[in-house]
Amino acid sequence: MNDMLFYLGDIAYGLSYALTLTVCAITLLPLVPNNHWVFRVWEFPRVQIIVLAIFGFVLLVVFASEFTQSEWIAQLIAVFAVACFQSYWILPYTQLYKSEVARHHAVAGDETLTILTANVLMTNRNAQGLIRHVKVNRPDILVTLESNQWWQDQLDPVLTDYPHRVSIPLDNLYGMHVYSRLALHDVVVSERVKEGIPSVKCGVSLPSGAHVKCFFVHPEPPSPTEAPTAAPRDCELMRVADEAIDITQPVIVTGDLNDVAWSPTTREFQRRSGLFDPRVGRGFFNTFHAQHGWARWPLDHIFVSREFALVSLQRLDEFGSDHFPLLTTLKLNP
């Protein structure tokens, strides 16, 4: 029995050391001034890093007899520093923080606007799952991402209540479709950074006669299978921010930004655009990965100008995609 406890103590000792070194390393990597995905990808799992740090600390406490006093103190300081640093980034997306966008209790009206954003996963064949969400929630605008010709063929005949459309079917994971009950005008399809990575800018006319400018975006993520660096994504988001800040109408930016809410890029986007995040003070609203509960973070975003109040923000049930749909209802308060 003593041999077994000694053996478990050795394992815990090594595992605690390994976890502490790992969480310290991946906490420091994003601070390196390099846009390569190896460095930038660790901006995503901040919650998971905190969980690993706490687990390492639990091992440290349970098997404290295996550690010298100096080892115990050093690991405690390292774990505490990691948890504090990561918490600094995610704290605004908890209810401990003051919200940026005011709450409005209107459920309908001529100046409310409901947008459903859904990264469908191009290879997903459960179009009926998305259609059910549309039929139940009746958004004013549906934005689909990763949608190709197959998805267009499934949605076009069914969404007869959405006569105003922008169709960009692509087979490269960056197709985009916009279906709207409301009139769209001044529609511009742009490939701001790279050919084959489109975004849509358009005006939306509300029933009250008010006009809203919308940006629907889906930049490349930094990853070993797509963009090797975060530079294209960051560049596109900054260009959208620079366009948005010069618009005098109410503005909405939404889509799969392939960036987490708590990244330095998102903070810089908000600073340059002057837009606000309705998730601040309310929650993470993790939309990716729909099939892996241990690896989730908020990739699908909506940012609004100061004229908007939030009626509701909800993550809908998954429908076979690796993303959950995001449903947002806003109230325009000029």
| Greatest CA separation for the chain | 79
Same domain, 61 and 203: no
What pLDDT band is residue 73 in, cutting at 50, 70 and 90?
confident
Find, among 1, 2, 20, 3, the residue nearest to 67 by Cα: 20
Split at pLDDT 50, 70, 90, the class of 9 is: low
Q: Which amino acid is at 231?
A: A
pLDDT of the residue at 65: 64
Q: Which pairing describes strands 164-168 and 184-190: parallel, antiparallel, or unpaired?
A: unpaired
Of 93, 124, 151, the last residue of a domain is 93
- The answer to whether residues 274 and 327 belong to one domain is yes
Query: Do 266 and 121 share a domain, yes or no?
Result: yes
Per-residue confidence band for 225, with pLDDT thresholds at 50, 70 and 90 = confident
Burial grade of 110 (CB within 10 A; 0-12, 13-18, 19 or more): exposed
Domain count for the chain: 2
Q: Are residues 38 and 179 in the same domain?
A: no
What's the average model confidence in pLDDT over 296-314? 97
Report the predicted TM-score, pTM, of the whole model to 2 decimal places: 0.93
Is 244 a member of any domain? yes
Q: Residue 304 CB: number of other CB atoms within 10 A?
A: 24
Q: Alpha-carbon distance 40 to 36, whole Å? A: 6
Q: 3-state secondary structure string, 133-195? A: HHHHHCCCEEEEECCCHHHHHHHCCCCCCCCEEEEECCCCCCCEEEEECCCEEEEEEECCCCC
Q: Is residue 45 located within the same domain as residue 120?
A: no
CA 273/CA 90 separation, integer angstroms: 21
In 3D space, the residue among 27, 15, 22, 3 whose CA is nearest the CA of residue 62 turns out to be 15
Q: 221, 233 in Cβ contact below 8 A?
A: yes
Residue 30 resides in a domain = yes
Q: Give the mean model confidence (pLDDT) for residues 307-324.
A: 97
The whole-number pLDDT of residue 114 equals 97
- If asked whether residues 179 and 277 sit together in one domain, one would say yes
Residue 102 included in any domain? no
**Phi, psi dihedrals of residue 46, rounded to the nearest 5°:** -65, -40
Same structural domain for residues 321 and 172?
A: yes
In-domain check, residue 32: yes
Residue 98 located in a structural domain: no
Domain boundary among 64, 93, 122: 93
Q: How far is CA 219 from CA 237, 256, 272, 294, 328, in A?
A: 8, 8, 18, 24, 21
Check whether 5 has a pLDDT greater than 50: no
The whole-number average pLDDT for the span 9-21 is 76
| Terminal Cα-to-Cα distance of the chain (whole angstroms) | 73
In terms of residue numbers, what domain contains 43?
2-93
112: pLDDT strictly greater than 90: yes
What pLDDT, in 10s, does the model give residues 234-289? 999 999 999 999 999 999 999 999 999 999 999 999 999 999 999 999 999 999 99
> Are 25 and 137 contained in the same domain?
no
Question: Based on the domain organization, do 65 and 135 belong to the same domain?
Answer: no
248, 133: one domain = yes
Q: 27: number of CA atoms within 13 Å, CB side?
A: 25
**Do the beta carbons of residue 203 and residue 163 sit within 8 Å?**
no
Please give the average per-residue pLDDT across 42-62, as a whole number. Answer: 88
129 half-sphere exposure, CB direction, 13 A CA radius = 16
CATH code of residue 224: 3.60.10.10
| Same domain assignment for residues 84 and 207 | no
Q: What is the DSSP string of 102-119?
A: -B----S-TTEEEEEEEE
Q: Average pLDDT, whole number, for the chain? A: 93
- Determine the Cα–Cα distance for residues 160 and 155; give it in Å rounded to an integer: 9
Cα dist. 76→52, 57, 160 in Å? 13, 7, 60
Of residues 323 and 55, more confidence is placed in 323
Residue 243 identity (one-letter amino acid): E
| pLDDT mean over 56-77 | 77
DSSP conformation class of 196: T
| Residue 192 structure tokens | 């701001």
* Residues 29 and 121 placed together within one structural domain of the fold: no
Residues linked to residue 119 through DSSP beta bridges, in sequence order: 145
